[in-house]
C-alpha cells in the first residue's frame, strides 16, 4: 500500500463532524501526502501529467474530495470563500502565497474586503481555511503541485446552494461578484 492509499484509509477512519481534533488529523494526513517519497507512482504520475486539476479521491461515504492542481508561476485566484465547507491546501512542490481577508461594510453599507495579511506556503506545508474564511492564492514559485482537500464537493455545492462567494476588484476594492 502506498502513502496515498494509507492516508485515504486514515481520513476515512477518523472522519467526523468539524472539530479541532478531526481537522488536526486531516492536516497531519495531508502533510504525510506532500512529504511522500517521490518514487511513489501516484506522485510521479501527478508530476508527469501536470494537470490543472486531477481528482485523487472522492469519498462516497463521507463526501470529502482530494484534488491535485498543477499551477504555473504567477497564476492568481482572486479572493473567495468556500461557503459552508472547509478546505486544507497542501503544497508538494513550489510555493503559493495565500492572502486572508475580512469582509466589512463600507460607509454606504456595501460589502468589501480588507486584506489581513498573507502566508507563504512552501513545499511540505499545509494551510487550513474554515467555513466563511476568505482567501486568495498566487503561485509564486512554479510550477507548483498543490493538493486541495475539501470536506465536501464545493463545485456541486455551489451549483446547488450557490453559497460560495467570489470577489471581483472594482475601483480598487474587492467586492462580492454579482450573480445572475
Q: Number of C-alpha atoms within 13 angstroms, CB side, residue 18?
A: 13
pLDDT digits (tens, 9 = 90+) for 26-58: 999 999 999 999 999 999 999 999 999 999 999
Q: Are strands 65-71 and 54-58 parallel, antiparallel or unpaired?
A: antiparallel
pLDDT digits (tens, 9 = 90+) for 120-171: 999 999 999 999 999 999 999 989 999 999 987 666 665 555 677 888 999 8
User: What is the domain partition of the chain in residue ranges?
Assistant: 3-176
Extended beta strands in 11-133, E state: 54-58, 65-71, 76-80, 87-105, 111-122, 126-129
In angstroms, rounded to a whole number, what is the distance separating the alpha carbons of residues 5 and 54?
16
pLDDT on residue 47: 94
- Cell numbers at residue 129, please? 481555511
| 3-176: CATH topology | Jelly Rolls (2.60.120)
DSSP 2-31: -HHHHHHHHHHHH--SS-HHHHHHHHHHHH
Using an 8 Å Cβ cutoff, are 90 and 98 in contact?
no
pTM to 2 decimals?
A: 0.90
Amino acid at each position: 500500500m502506498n502513502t496515498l492509499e494509507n492516508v485515504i484509509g486514515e481520513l476515512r477512519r477518523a472522519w467526523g463532524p468539524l472539530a479541532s481534533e478531526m481537522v488536526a488529523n486531516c492536516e497531519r494526513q495531508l502533510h504525510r501526502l506532500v512529504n511522500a517519497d517521490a518514487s511513489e507512482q501516484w506522485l510521479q504520475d501527478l508530476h508527469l501529467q501536470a494537470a490543472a486539476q486531477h481528482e485523487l479521491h472522492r469519498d462516497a461515504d463521507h463526501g470529502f474530495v482530494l484534488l491535485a492542481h498543477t499551477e504555473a508561476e504567477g497564476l492568481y485566484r482572486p479572493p473567495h470563500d468556500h461557503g459552508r465547507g472547509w478546505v486544507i491546501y497542501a503544497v508538494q512542490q513550489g510555493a503559493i502565497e495565500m492572502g486572508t481577508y475580512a469582509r466589512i461594510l463600507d460607509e454606504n453599507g456595501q460589502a468589501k474586503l480588507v486584506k489581513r495579511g498573507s502566508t507563504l506556503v512552501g513545499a511540505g506545508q499545509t494551510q487550513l481555511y474554515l467555513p466563511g474564511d476568505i482567501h486568495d492564492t498566487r503561485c509564486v514559485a512554479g510550477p507548483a503541485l498543490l493538493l486541495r482537500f475539501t470536506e465536501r464537493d464545493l463545485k456541486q455545492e455551489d451549483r446547488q446552494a450557490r453559497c460560495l462567494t467570489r470577489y471581483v476588484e472594482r475601483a480598487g476594492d474587492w467586492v462580492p461578484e454579482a450573480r445572475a
